[in-house]
Amino acid sequence: MDSHCPQNLAVVPMIPPVPQGLWAAAQNEWDKMLESYVTPLLMSYVNKYIKNLKPSDLQLSLWGGDVVLSKLDLKLDVLEQELKLPFTFMSGHIHELRIHVPWTKLGSEPVVITINTMECILKLRDGAQDDHESGSSSTSRSVSDSSKTVAKPRRLQQAAPSDPDLPP
């Protein structure tokens, strides 16, 4: 043994560095595995309400965590069943749906789904007006009551004298 080397140290051979291409391939496989788990989970929630959505539409930016979908058509029958309003949905669209997945903090932060502009065209259901007039539908009555509440402040504002210092 060399006299300059302490006896309690072992000589460790130098480990060669991992080639960058191999590291990138391993990272790519990890990303695919994570995406294969998360994509079906997101699809199970989003696909319930969106027409013609495919898993390939949810290309995740894995470490950025954002998915942006544009110009989506809504499943109108599902909305009617879920919301149980006295309206029929004639059409429904989402201009932009953004899904943010906080990969590095999945245990402490939620996945956030943001809808930017949802447009629906509604039609009063046949019989809904008759139910309201007869007073037999509590849903129609509650919608009507809330519209009366909204209408009252408008009437008060219109009747108030105008202040010359305020813009029209």
Pairing of strands 87-100, 112-124: antiparallel
Q: What is the pLDDT along the chain (168 residues), one digit of tens a residue?
A: 555 656 666 666 666 666 667 767 776 777 677 777 777 888 888 889 999 988 777 766 656 678 888 899 999 999 999 999 999 999 999 999 998 888 778 789 898 999 999 999 999 988 766 655 555 444 444 444 444 444 344 443 344 445 454 445
Backbone angles phi, psi at 51, to 5 degrees: -75, 145
Q: What are phi and psi of 66, to 5 degrees?
A: -110, 140
**How confident is the model at residue 44, as a pLDDT?**
86
| The pLDDT value given to residue 42 | 81
Note the pLDDT of residue 128.
Answer: 66
Q: According to the model, what pLDDT value does residue 147 have?
A: 42
- State the Cα–Cα distance between residues 137 and 19, nearest whole angstrom: 71
Distance CA 67, CA 49 (A): 17
Q: Are 156 and 165 in contact (CB under 8 A)?
A: no
How high is the pLDDT of residue 155?
40
* Domain assignments of the chain as residue spans, ordered by start: 55-149
Q: Is the pTM of this model over 0.75?
A: no
